[in-house]
Structure 1
Amino acid sequence: MASNLACIGLDVWRRSDFRDLVASARAEAETIAKDGEVGVHIWTDASGARLIITTEGDLVRVVTPTFYAAPGAIISEPQAVDGGLVLAELVNRDDEVITEIACQLEELALLGSASSPVEGPVSIVVLGNSVQVIGRADDDVPDLSFEPTGAYALSTDATAHLTGIVLAIEQRTVGRTGQGFTAARVQTAGFQVTLCVPAGKPTLTAGDVLEVDGYVVASVPALRA
């Protein structure tokens, strides 16, 4: 099972290496929110690998890995809950609910001051902790699905299980670590996500049908406006 960091080419084993990685990323990061001693900073590598770093004074409190991805869905009325989790609905262009979602949100610190209701384009990144190729789109395709498996199972994990079809793939490499990863655009039930997995784990091609268990991080660009 791949770790969240391995999915974006930032796999480190030793705690000291992780501290060094976060410290160097923090020095290059963009600060998107500041409230007293608490700050939220986003570092984005040229590969698209991204870290959301929450600090309190000089201390790093939370580090969330994700990826810079284009929007592929419409989010409606995201709500922050305990544990830093966000619950929301994804809707279609007719404002009909497609599914519920539990995720981490890059702009969580900006959500409370946003004008209500919050609705608009959202990028959804799934860090593929477990990914299996189960078929090809030109064969019999199972029903596409997306199901949160964390908060709606009475836990506080931003996790989901999905079945989807690979639309396109890009191979990326993080210069700092030399590690490669795959960023795949995936069509699931009524919307698109960007799936990140370590390079070759598994090897993906357009048209593959996937079954995925992963960690979900969203970004709503309009919250930064």
Structure 2
Amino acid sequence: MLFDLVRVLTPTVGTGTLTLGAAADGGRTFAAAGVMDGEIVSYAIEDGATREVGEGIYSAGTLTRDMKASTTGSLLSLSGSAKVSITVLAADLPAVRFPRIAESAVNGHRALSANAAGQVRHCGSDSADAQAVLGISLGAAIVGDIVLVHSGGDVEESSWNWTPGPVWVGAGGVLTQTPPSTGTLIRIGVASATTKLTVNPQVLAKL
């Protein structure tokens, strides 16, 4: 569920369930926004320079924590002065997929970019057009065939073996959890399970 302008303080210390406090920074409390006991919401926690997002169940001024991503790779150990907001996660959005013609042979689950005619090709950290990454291919295609491009939302693949955390684009459009040291730093998404990737392409830096 979505609720607008919710932002509160939390006195919680450690990694446990959140105790929700007073409204912060002009926001509203969960109760004031109409959040009911038992409702599941997507949350964001800010504690100094660290961040955590996830899903939680609201009940009587508390919120459970099912972390989906964080800047530390695990549940934040909170300081007692963090802030909690209701947010929208990439996984909350419907999957975005569209067909394109393959300019060259395309392998499955590779990052893709498009030429001026809209035809797609592998897009790697070493590609000249790396900053124009569209998403990933959902299957292989030969030249001139249609390939389905997945540019947002969840993808599951039984052959994957991710460690939950960021997934990067390597040379040739290969998906990897080792960030490249040269070329363009592209985070294609975040793995939330060993076989599940939430695609949300972001060009972060030119290396």
TM-score (norm 1): 0.28
**Which structure has greater helix proportion?**
1
TM-score (norm 2): 0.30
**Which structure has greater strand proportion?**
1
